[in-house]
Structure 1
Amino acid sequence: MAEGKKFGTFEGVFTPSILTILGVIMYMRLGWVVGNAGLLGAIIIIVLAHVIAVTTGLSVSSIATDKKIGAGGIYYVLSRSMGIPIGGSIGIALYVGTSLSIALYLIGFAESFNDYFGFGTAINDIRLTGTLALVSLTILALISTSLALKTQFLILSAIIISLIAIFFGTSNFEPQTVQLLAPEHAVSMEVVFAIFFPAVTGFTAGIAMSGDLKDPKSSIPKGTLMAIGVGLVVYISLAVFLANKVNSEVLISDYNILMKIALFSPAVVAGIWGATLSSAIGGILGGPRILQAMSIDKITPKIFGKGNGKNNEPVNALLLVFIIAQAGILIGELDVIARVVSMFYLTAYGFINISYFLESWANPDFQPSFKIKRWIGLLGFMACFGVMFKLDTLAMMGALIVIGGLYFWLQRKEVKLQTNDVWQSVWENVVNKGLKKIDDQEVEKSNWNPNIILFSGQSDHQSYLLQLGKTVSGRTGIVTNFKLILDTSNLQPLKKSEQIVKSEEFKELGIFGRQIKVSNIYDGITTIASAFGFSGVEPNTIMMGWPKGLENSKEYSKMTQTLLYLDYNLLYLDFDKKAKFGNYDTVDFWWRETDSKNAEMMLNIARFIIASPRWNNTSIRVLFVNNNNVDKALIHAKIYKLVEDLRVNVEIIIINNAVEQKPFYNLIEEKSKATGLTIIGIPNYQIEKQAEFVLRTNHLFETIGSTLLVKASNNFNVLDLDFVNR
C-alpha cells in the first residue's frame, strides 16, 4: 500500500497550533483583560499563562525527540512514557475535552455570525448556525485532511490581515495616560487570568497530527515552539497597543473595540470567524486521531481504530467526535463545559511536564536530541496544578476524579504494550538512591529491621511458615523464600529468569520467591547465607522449620556452626499441625537469666506480631523463671520497664523455681500447653551438645503447641536479666 500524504512542520504543526492560539480570546477578550488588569497586570497574566505553554511545549518537544512518535499526539507520548493507565486516562479525557471544545468554538462563531448579518441571536438560532457549521467542517474533514489543512492557510491569512488592520487603525478613545495597574472596581486578577488562560491552550493542536507528519521528531519541537513564541509576541504587542490606544473604561465595557479601531472592520470580522473555525477544524482533525490511536492500543473499542483510504483517515472516530460536539452545541451550557474542558487540558499538560521530569531523572535510556533542563518539567507540572487550584478547585477535583477513575479502570483492564513505562525507571532510581543512603550509614545496635531468608520447604503447612515469616518481618521487612532443588548429578544451574518464583500467595504476603539447584541441602543453605543480598539490605535473619530427626547429623551441625559464625539471627518454627496457631490470640515469651540478647529480639518480634491484623487481639505473656529466689517485685518492675514500650497489655508472670528447681522445659509444658504461639530463646551451648539439645526440644514440642525458637545475633543489645547480684 502506498504511503499517504505526510505534512511538514509549517503545514502540520505550526499552522493548526497558531490558529488555535490566536483565537476568540484575542479578538473578544484581550481588551477586557488589559482594561481590568492594567498594562503591567496584563503582561504578567500573559507571561504566567505562557509559562505553562512554554514548559509544556519544551517538555513534549524533548520527549518527541527521544521516542518514536506515532499517531495520537499527547496520548501517544504519555502512554509510551508513563504507561497505558495514565496515558489512556488522560487520552480519553483529552479526547472528550477536544470534542467538547469544538462546540465552544462553533457557538462563539455562531454568535458573531448571526449578530453581524442580523440573524436571530436566540439560543435555538445559535444552535442552528453552530450545527450547520459543524456539519460543514465535518464534511470538509471527511473529504480530505489535506484540503482541511490547506483551508487553514486561508484562515491564517485572514488573521494576519486582521492584525494589520488593527495595528494601522485609529482610535477616538485614546487615554490621557497609560493605565499600568488595575483600576478601582476592576475584576480580580484571578478571574481575569481564568478568562484569558484558554488563549494559550491551543499549541497541542499540531501535536495531535503526529501520525500524519513526515518527521515528527523534528516538526513537533520546531512547530510547537514557533507557534508558542509567535503567540506570545502577538499577545504582548497587542496588549501594549491597546493600552496606548484605548482608555480602560472602554476596554472593559466594549468587547468589539477591535472592530471599531481597525483600519478595515470587516477584516477583523473575518479574523474572528477564521479563528473560531480554524480552532474547530483543529479539534475535528486532532480529536479522532487520539481516539484512533487508543483503539489501536485496545483501550477503546476497536471499531474506532479502523481508517479509510491510503492515509488511514479515522472516519469512525470522526463521527463520534461529531456526536459529542453536537451534544455540546445542543446543551448550550458553555460556561460549565468550558471550565471542565480547561481542567482536562491543564491536567494533560501537567502530566506531560511530570512525564518529562521523571523520564529525564529516572530513565537511563532517555536520550533526546532536543535537551532542556530537568527542572523545566517540574516547574510546568507545579504551574499547571497551581493554576487549576486557583481557577476552580471544584472543577479541578471533578477532572481529577474522572481521570483517576479512568486510571484505575485501565489498571484493572490490564492493557499492555510491548514497551516499558517510566515508572519502572522511577522505582529503580528510588531504590538505587535509597540503598546508597542506607549503605552510607554506620551499623548500630538498634531496633531490628528484619531482612529474612526463609527456607519453608514443601509441605501442607508451608503457608503457615510463610505467614509467620511475614508477620515477624514487620511492615517494612523483606522476606525472601528459597526453594532448594536437590540435584546430585551436578547439572547446569537454573537460568536467572528461572530462579524467580512467583505465586499468588507470595504476591499477597509480599514475599519474594527464589529457587536454585543444590547438590546438598545444608551446603546450599550456607552458600545462600554467605552470598545472598547486597549493600543496604543485607540479610540478617535465617528462618526455617525445626529440624526433627537431625540431631545426629554432622552436616546439620556444620551448617549451624556456619550460620552462628556469620552472626545471623536464627528462627526455627515447630508447627503444630493439629492446633496450628490456635485462634491467634495468645503468645507466650519465656525468659531466663541467660536470655539477655534473645529477650530484646523477642521484644522486637512482639512489636511486629501485635501490629499484624491477624494477631491484633493477641494477649501476650512474659514468663520469667526465678531460679535464685530474687524478690518478685524487683523482677516485675524491671521487666515492666522493658515491655512498657509495646503499648499493649502484657501480663508478666514470675515463676519462683529456687526451691523445686524444675527443669526449664518442664515449666514450659505446664504453663504453655494451650498457647497459640510459644517463643523460647536458644541458649548458648557447645556445638557438640547439639544432639542433646535437639532431643530435649523435640520432647518439649510433643506436649505444647506451635513454638518459635530464637537465637539473637550480636547486633542485639544485652538486657540485664541477672538479678542475683543486686
Structure 2
Amino acid sequence: MQGKKFGTFAGVFTPSILTILGVIMYMRLGWVVGNAGLIGAIMIIVLAHVIAISTGLSVSSVATDKKIGAGGVYYILSRSMGIPIGGSIGIALYIGTALSIALYLIGFAESFNGYFGFGLTINDIRLTGTIALLTLTCLALISTSVAIKAQFFILAAIIISIVAIFFGNSNFQPETIQLFSSVDAVPLEVVFAIFFPAVTGFTAGIAMSGDLKDPKESIPKGTLLAIGTGLIIYIGVAVFLAFNVSSEVLRTDYNILMKIALFAPAVLAGIWGATLSSALGGILGGPRILQAMSIDNVTPKIFRKGRGKNNEPVNALFLVFVIAEAGILVGELDVIARVVSMFYLTAYGFINISYFLESWANPDFQPSFKIKSWIGLLGFMACFAVMFKLDMLAMLGAFAIIAGLYIWLQRKEVRLQSNDVWQSVWENVVNKGLKKIDANIDENLNWNPNIILFSGESKHQSYLLELGKTVSGRTGIVTNFKLILDKKNNKPLKKVDQIVRDDTFAELGIFARQVKVDNIYNGITNIATTYGFSGVEPNTIMMGWPKGLENSTEYSKMTETLLHLDYNLLYLDFDRKKKFGKYQTVDFWWRETDSKNAEMMLNIARFIIASPNWNKTKIRVLFVNNNNVNQEIISSKIRELVEDLRVLVDIEIINNAVEQKPFYTIIEEYSEKTDLTVVGIPNYKIEKQAEFVLKTNHLFETIGSTLLVKAANNFNVLDLDFIEIK
C-alpha cells in the first residue's frame, strides 16, 4: 500500500520558496542595495534569476518527458546523462545539501543566541545549532507529512514578516535615491557572490520527487511558481529599501529590516523560520538523494532501506545528520560554503546541458512542457561563467572532486537499463558529420584511410593489426574481418554475433567483425563490394602477402575485382624472425612507373612517423635512376614533392643506367637490414600475376618485413619520368 503523496503546493512550491526566501533576504538584501544601488541591485537579482529560471525551465521540461522517481536532480541527470555524471553530481549535491544544513543552523544559532543573550562564542553556537539539528531531525523522523505541515507555519511567519516590512515606518529616509554603485562601495562581483545563494533553493522541491502524486505536473508548476514568486519579492523589497533607507545605513546595518518593520518580532520570526525551513528542506531532500543513489548501486546498499509506506530514508537521514553535525562542530564554514555553492552551480549547469543535449540529440525526447533548446545552453554557460567570476579556486576544487567521483563511477561500471543521452548525442554527431562529409567529397584531398583489413589468424596477427593501425593515421578507420569458412553457409551469423569484442582490437582502436563465407576469395570480394556507407566509404584493402597462390585463378579474379573497384591495396610480407626489427629504419622505393604509388607512400610515411612505435625512425626515399639523369635534378624534384606533404626523409639516388640491374636486385642490396621496406606494385596484367608473385617471393627471402603498395586512381600522378630532363 502506498503512503501519502503530496501535491504541487505542499510538495514542491512550499519547500522551494522557503529555501529561496532565506537569510540573504533578511540579512543581506539591504547591504546589496546599499552597495550596488537600486539599478545595480535589480541587475544582480535578475542575473541570478537567469540561472534559476533557465535551470527551472530545463528541469521542468526533462521532468515532463521521463518518468521521475525519487532522487530529484540525481534521478534526472542519471537517466539523461548516465550514472557516472549523474552519480558524481548526485554525491556532490548530497554532501553540499548536508553541509548547507549546518550553514543555515549556524545562522539561526547566531540570531537566536543574540536575541536571548545566550552568548555568541563558538561553543554557544555549536550547542544551539546541535539542539536545532536534533529537533529538526526528530521532526523528520516522526513523519515527512508532519514536517511538510510544519513548513506551512513557517511560510505563514515569512509572509507576516514581509507584510510587517512593507507597512513599517522608516526614520532613515534618503535625501536622494542611489541608482548605481558608488566609488567607495564593494565591487559588484563580490556583491553578486554574496547574493547568489538566495536563488539556489528551488531544487528543494525537486528533491521531493519520489513523494509527489504527479511529479510531471507538480515539478514544473511548483518550481517555476517558486522562482517567479521569489523574483517578485526580492525586487519588491529592493525597491522598497532603496526608497525608504539611505545607502549608508543599508551598507552598515544588517538588521535594518527589524528596525523599520511595523512589528519587529514578526521579522525575527521570519528569520528563524527561513533558516529553520531551509535546514528542514535539506533534511527532507538530502536523504532522498542518497537513497536513490543506493537503489542504483552508486552508494552502499544500506542507505536504500526505508521505513513505512513511503519508504522514508531513515538510514540516509542519519548520515545527513552526521555530516551536518560535523559542519556545526567546525563552526567556521566560510571555505566550505564557497565549495558548496560551486557544487550547486555545477549541478545546475549539468541540468541545463542535460536538457540541451536531450532536446538536440534524442529523437525520443517528447516533453509535454516544451521550451527552446537554447535556453538550456544559455543556462549552462551562465552557470560556469558565474562560477569562474565568483571564485575560480573554489570552482576548480569542485571540479576536481566531481571529476574524481566521475572516474570512480566509470571504473565501478554501474549500468542502468535505460540508455543515457550520450548514445543519442554521438549518433546525432555522426549522422550530421557523415552528411557533411558526403556533401563535400573532394577526390584531391589528402588520403584519409578507411581500411578493410583481413588479418587472418596466427600468432603474428597482432603485427599486421599494428601496422594497419599505423598506416591509417590518427583519424583513419580500420575494420578487421574474420572470415569463417563454411562450405554450406546456409545461414549467416546474426548481426549481433558479427560484432567482435576483443581487448586487442579495443586497445588499437580497430573495429572487428566476423562473417561466414563459402569461399575465402568470394568473401573478400563481397565485403569489398558491399561494406561501408556514404561519407566514410572504405578506400583501402590490406592483407598478408599471398605466398603460394601464384597460380590461383580465384586469387587472380579477386585481385582483378579489387583493382576494378579502385581500392588502394596493401600487402604485408611479415618477417617472422626479424619482425619489425627495432622500428628505426624504413625504406620507400620509387621508380619511374610509380607515379601514383609515390604519393600514397608519402602519405604512409606521414602516418608512420606519427606513430609512437615509429616516431624515432629514419626514413629513406630511394630512387633508381635508369636513364642517367643528373642526380641533383632528380633529388631537387623529389625533395619538392616531399616538402609538399611535409615529410622529412633522406633522399638517395641510385644510378643504374650502365649496369641496368633488376629493380628487385637493387632492393636486396640496399634494404637487406631495413626494418620495414615499402615497395610499389607496378601496373601489370593479370595473366602476368604468377611471374610477379614468384619474383616478389624471391625478394622477400632476402629482406625483412615488406609492405607492397598499389595506389587507387584518386591519387595524383607525380612526375617521376626524368627522361626529358637533360
Structure 1 length-normalised TM: 0.99
Structure 1: tracts of 5 or more residues without a match: none
Partner of 2:90, secondary structure, is: helix
Q: CA separation in 1, counterparts of 2:705 and 2:256?
A: 88
Task: Please tell me the residue identity of whatever aligns with 1:619.
Answer: K
Structure 2 length-normalised TM: 0.99
What is the aligned partner in structure 1 of residue 503 from structure 2? 504
Q: CA separation in 1, counterparts of 2:10 and 2:98?
A: 22
Q: CA separation in 2, counterparts of 1:105 and 1:48?
A: 24
The within-5 A match list for 1:36-115 is 36-115=35-114
What is the aligned partner in structure 1 of residue 592 from structure 2? 593
The answer to whether the 8 A contact 2:682-2:710 is kept is yes
Distance apart, 1:490 and its partner CA: 2.9
1:521 matched to 2:520? The reply is yes
Q: CA separation in 2, counterparts of 1:426 and 1:358?
A: 7
1:704 matched to 2:703? The reply is yes
Distance apart, 1:176 and its partner CA: 2.5
The within-5 A match list for 1:291-310 is 291-310=290-309
The within-5 A match list for 1:454-469 is 454-469=453-468
Partner of 1:490, secondary structure, is: coil
What is the aligned partner in structure 1 of residue 137 from structure 2? 138
The answer to whether the 8 A contact 2:77-2:86 is kept is yes
The answer to whether the 8 A contact 2:602-2:647 is kept is no
Q: CA separation in 2, counterparts of 1:446 and 1:161?
A: 74
Distance apart, 1:675 and its partner CA: 1.1
Partner of 1:588, secondary structure, is: strand
For residues 567-596 of structure 1, the C-alpha deviation after alignment (integer angstroms, 9 at most, x for no partner) is 110001111111111111111111111111
Distance apart, 1:698 and its partner CA: 1.2
Q: CA separation in 2, counterparts of 1:22 and 1:47?
A: 15
The answer to whether the 8 A contact 2:125-2:331 is kept is no
For residues 580-638 of structure 1, the C-alpha deviation after alignment (integer angstroms, 9 at most, x for no partner) is 11111111111111111111111110110011000111111111111111112221222
1:641 matched to 2:640? The reply is yes
Partner of 2:6, secondary structure, is: coil
Moved more, 595-604 or 619-628: 619-628
Q: CA separation in 2, counterparts of 1:609 and 1:42?
A: 61
Moved more, 442-451 or 543-552: 442-451
Q: CA separation in 1, counterparts of 2:37 and 2:652?
A: 81
What is the aligned partner in structure 1 of residue 321 from structure 2? 322
The answer to whether the 8 A contact 2:72-2:207 is kept is yes
What is the aligned partner in structure 2 of residue 34 from structure 1? 33
Distance apart, 1:523 and its partner CA: 1.2
Task: Please tell me the residue identity of whatever aligns with 1:219.
Answer: S
Task: Please tell me the residue identity of whatever aligns with 2:323.
Answer: I
What is the aligned partner in structure 2 of residue 446 from structure 1? 445
Q: CA separation in 1, counterparts of 2:385 and 2:648?
A: 48
Task: Please tell me the residue identity of whatever aligns with 2:408.
Answer: W
What is the aligned partner in structure 1 of residue 469 from structure 2? 470
The within-5 A match list for 1:14-25 is 14-25=13-24
The within-5 A match list for 1:99-498 is 99-498=98-497
Q: CA separation in 2, counterparts of 1:416 and 1:490?
A: 37
Task: Please tell me the residue identity of whatever aligns with 2:337.
Answer: A
Task: Please tell me the residue identity of whatever aligns with 1:702.
Answer: E
Task: Please tell me the residue identity of whatever aligns with 1:34.
Answer: V
Partner of 2:346, secondary structure, is: helix
Distance apart, 1:649 and its partner CA: 5.0
Moved more, 376-385 or 522-531: 522-531
Task: Please tell me the residue identity of whatever aligns with 2:717.
Answer: V
Q: CA separation in 2, counterparts of 1:546 and 1:670?
A: 22
What is the aligned partner in structure 2 of residue 542 from structure 1? 541
For residues 342-395 of structure 1, the C-alpha deviation after alignment (integer angstroms, 9 at most, x for no partner) is 111001100100110011111111111100000100110111111111111111
Distance apart, 1:718 and its partner CA: 0.9
Distance apart, 1:647 and its partner CA: 5.5
Partner of 2:535, secondary structure, is: coil
Query: Number of residue pairs matched?
Result: 725
Q: CA separation in 2, counterparts of 1:470 and 1:332?
A: 59
Distance apart, 1:720 and its partner CA: 1.0
Distance apart, 1:521 and its partner CA: 1.2
Q: CA separation in 1, counterparts of 2:182 and 2:692?
A: 92
1:531 matched to 2:530? The reply is yes
Q: CA separation in 2, counterparts of 1:445 and 1:567?
A: 15
Partner of 1:485, secondary structure, is: strand
What is the aligned partner in structure 2 of residue 574 from structure 1? 573
Q: CA separation in 2, counterparts of 1:568 and 1:283?
A: 65
Q: CA separation in 2, counterparts of 1:291 and 1:350?
A: 20
Q: CA separation in 1, counterparts of 2:645 and 2:331?
A: 63
Distance apart, 1:537 and its partner CA: 0.5
The answer to whether the 8 A contact 2:605-2:647 is kept is no
Task: Please tell me the residue identity of whatever aligns with 1:54.
Answer: I
When residues 334 and 490 of structure 1 are mapped into structure 2, their CA distance, relative to the original with a 3 A threshold, is closer
Task: Please tell me the residue identity of whatever aligns with 2:338.
Answer: R
Partner of 1:29, secondary structure, is: helix
Q: CA separation in 1, counterparts of 2:441 and 2:512?
A: 29
Q: CA separation in 2, counterparts of 1:112 and 1:218?
A: 38
Partner of 1:7, secondary structure, is: coil
Q: CA separation in 2, counterparts of 1:212 and 1:395?
A: 33
Partner of 1:724, secondary structure, is: coil
Task: Please tell me the residue identity of whatever aligns with 1:121.
Answer: L
For residues 448-473 of structure 1, the C-alpha deviation after alignment (integer angstroms, 9 at most, x for no partner) is 11000001111121111100000000
RMSD: 1.0
For residues 546-579 of structure 1, the C-alpha deviation after alignment (integer angstroms, 9 at most, x for no partner) is 1111111111111111111111100011111111
For residues 461-489 of structure 1, the C-alpha deviation after alignment (integer angstroms, 9 at most, x for no partner) is 11111000000000000000011111111
Task: Please tell me the residue identity of whatever aligns with 1:355.
Answer: S
What is the aligned partner in structure 1 of residue 627 from structure 2? 628
Structure 2: tracts of 5 or more residues without a match: none
